[in-house]
Amino acid sequence: MAEELVDAVDHSILRLLREDGRRTFSEMAAEVGLSVAAVKRRVDRLRDVGVITGFTVQIDHSKLGWAVEAFTELRYLGTTGAGEIVQTASALPEVQAVFTIAGDPDALIWLRVRDVNHLQQAIERLRRSGKVTGTKTLMVLGTWMRS
Amino acid sequence: MAEELVDAVDHSILRLLREDGRRTFSEMAAEVGLSVAAVKRRVDRLRDVGVITGFTVQIDHSKLGWAVEAFTELRYLGTTGAGEIVQTASALPEVQAVFTIAGDPDALIWLRVRDVNHLQQAIERLRRSGKVTGTKTLMVLGTWMRS
DNA sequence: AGTGAAAAGTAATGCCA
DNA sequence: TGGCATTACTTTTCACT
């Protein structure tokens, strides 16, 4: 058995950074009971090994006028590869995420749009952008996300 | 027409923070051509008006041993309210997000689990946790997320 | 709204246990 | 790996435009 990649202190640091990605090293150091330098070294290491892939801001998109969310299940021609699905779908600015799926459907697309009219346009562009054979769209009424 | 909540400079700042949520004010100030104090004031304001809801770290969960993702579509008894759906589903630690849906299904649950065995356990707990009448699970093979 | 400068706090680095 | 001390930056605040 190899040494574990992430110990309990690392998990505490990750939890603190999930709650507030701009927490200072000194604040985290006080919480986990290490020095500032030790915490920085752990965070640097977590980035190096790829556990931490980045930091980002959380945005309320409805306040920016993109109030409607939906998921679209896509079915593709049997010859279509996962890479091709991601490439064509992610080209649309309305596409927030692309999940390729085992079985039926072939992909699940997370869309964020201004309104229902905009949703229709986005779905139509999705349909035309690849070898899409069918779609089913789920309109999101409410969202809860962890953290 | 009211004054716009977010102008072009704010959008630039948001883009910079989406790319790296720990960017310094001085770095952003240089990018957008304002003083450090002006950028800080805008970020503070974006938080105050609720456009920015927080900052967080992006994590590669597969490196932490949670390698499997899935979406489960849930159908509930007709009497079940959206609040109840979110409350019961979000109680499971495997649940990453809950989307309540217009029509059929009633909810879409984003799950993150260690392995397929763990997925089965999570789905069984979901089924028993509320007035669930049916489920359909989509296994995620690959994920692409914007930014 | 924005600027510039001072004060306080934080990050980054090197050296030693 | 972690602690400590030093230096360089960054954040924060405030008076002024």
**Distance D3 C1' – B23 CA (angstroms):** 28
pLDDT at residue A107 tops 60? yes
List pLDDT tens digits, range A22-73. 999 999 999 999 999 999 999 999 999 999 999 999 999 999 999 999 999 9
What's phi and psi for B4, nearest 5 deg?
-70, 145
CATH of domain B61-139: 3.30.70.920
pLDDT value of residue B147: 83
Apex B14 CA angle, B10 and B20, nearest 5: 145
- Closest Cβ opposite residue A57 in set B55, B60, B95: B55
Which nucleotide is closest to A38, CA to C1'? D2
- Closest Cβ opposite residue A95 in set B139, B140, B146: B146
Residue where the block lists tokens 């949670």? B66
Put simply, the answer to whether B14 touches A57 (Cβ < 8 Å) is yes
pLDDT band at residue B2 under the 50/70/90 scheme = low
Q: Which residue of B has its CA nearest to A96?
A: B146
Put simply, the answer to whether B57 touches A97 (Cβ < 8 Å) is no
pLDDT band at residue B1 under the 50/70/90 scheme = low
Put simply, the answer to whether B55 touches A21 (Cβ < 8 Å) is yes
| DSSP for A24-51, written as a single string | -HHHHHHHHTS-HHHHHHHHHHHHHTTS
pLDDT value of residue A147: 83
pLDDT value of residue A120: 98
pTM: 0.94
Q: Does domain B3-48 have CATH number 1.10.10.10?
A: yes
List pLDDT tens digits, range B58-115. 999 999 999 999 999 999 998 899 999 999 999 999 999 999 999 899 999 999 999 9
pLDDT band at residue A78 under the 50/70/90 scheme = confident
Distance, CA of B91 to CA of B96 (rounded, Å): 10
pLDDT value of residue A114: 98
Mean pLDDT across B41-59:
97
Residue type (1 letter), A25: F
Q: Where are the domains of chain A?
A: 3-48, 61-139
